[in-house]
Amino acid sequence: MICPLFAALPPHLQYRAFALPPPDTRKIILATNIAETSVTVPGVRFVIDPGLSKRRKFNAQLGIETLQIHPISKSSAAQRAGRAGREAPGKCYRLYPTSDFDVLADNTTPEIRDCDITSLVLTLKIQGHDDILNFPFLDRPKRESVVRGLEVLYLLGALDREGRPTDLGKEMNLLPLSPELAKVLISSTREGESNCVAEVIDIIACMSASSASSNAIFMMPNAENRETITENRMHFVSVYGDHITLLQAFREYLSVVKLASGVKDWCNRWGINRRVMKNVVVLSSFSSDF
């Protein structure tokens, strides 16, 4: 009985990792870092630790966030080993030599050092903290990340020339989105401009769902059908860019869902990640209500 376990997995599928297996069945859980500290899975007797983890890394110079594979820390290794034998004797198998373990960092780098803190900078500004560079963080973010956050907020109109939050910035901070996406959504509602709120909500939902699950709407085709799926995907491609391409794919998915049949075959034909698309539907519906 093989069960995946990761944060973006739907709850009913996450439950399989915690359920008792049938008699005379060995349960194998393929888990991300969520199994280190966030949850305790009962009945674990053996842990296989590859010594690696995927972490989000934000490049302040390029302004993009990527998911990269990094060696874990000694504290993470200890946490993983501690998952085994919590209820009975257990064992952890580390797939790396002692020499590699000895050079690992003692502790995991705080997430604030590796993520985009533009939203945090805006929140602190609105709360009246003007000197963000000298704010007493428990773990100080990188200086270039703070500077970039201030620059982006000024370019978006969330801060004025003196670094004070504007009315637009305060409005952006109320939305559960990054400042860039919040500005797009607010701009789509302004009077005198074309009414594209519904389209913008769907595009933001596509981008947010892909980011949250670390998977794009379009799956990476395997070697056998790569040429066919790549050619089929031209059906969605728009000359107006990737955002409209996402919108067209999502809108066609909704039309197939309404027919209540053939959804799986449609996703397989076009190389669409069905699980991510379900998340997009939820986010789009919630955002519309919000």
Alpha-carbon distance of 94 to 51, in angstroms, equals 7
Tens-place pLDDT, residues 118-144: 999 999 999 999 899 899 999 999 999
Tens-place pLDDT, residues 1-25: 999 988 777 777 888 889 888 899 9
The position carrying tokens 């049938």 is 22
- Partners of 21 in the β-ladder: none
Over residues 58-65, mean pLDDT: 81
Q: What's the pTM value of the predicted model, to 2 decimals?
A: 0.76
CA dihedral in degrees (140, 145, 148, 154; nearest 10)?
-40
State the pLDDT at residue 211. Answer: 61
pLDDT over 50 at 290, yes or no: no
- Tally: H helices and E strands in the chain: 13, 6
213 and 8 Cβ atoms separated by less than 8 Å: yes
How is residue 65 annotated by DSSP? E
Q: Please tell me whether residue 56 adopts helix, strand or coil conformation.
A: strand
pLDDT over 90 at 111, yes or no: no
Tens-place pLDDT, residues 69-92: 999 999 999 999 988 877 788 999
* Closest C-alpha among 145, 139, 136 to residue 116: 145
Task: Domains for the chain: give ranges and CATH numbers.
Answer: 2-109 (3.40.50.300), 113-187 (1.20.120.1080), 197-289 (no CATH)
pLDDT over 80 at 214, yes or no: no
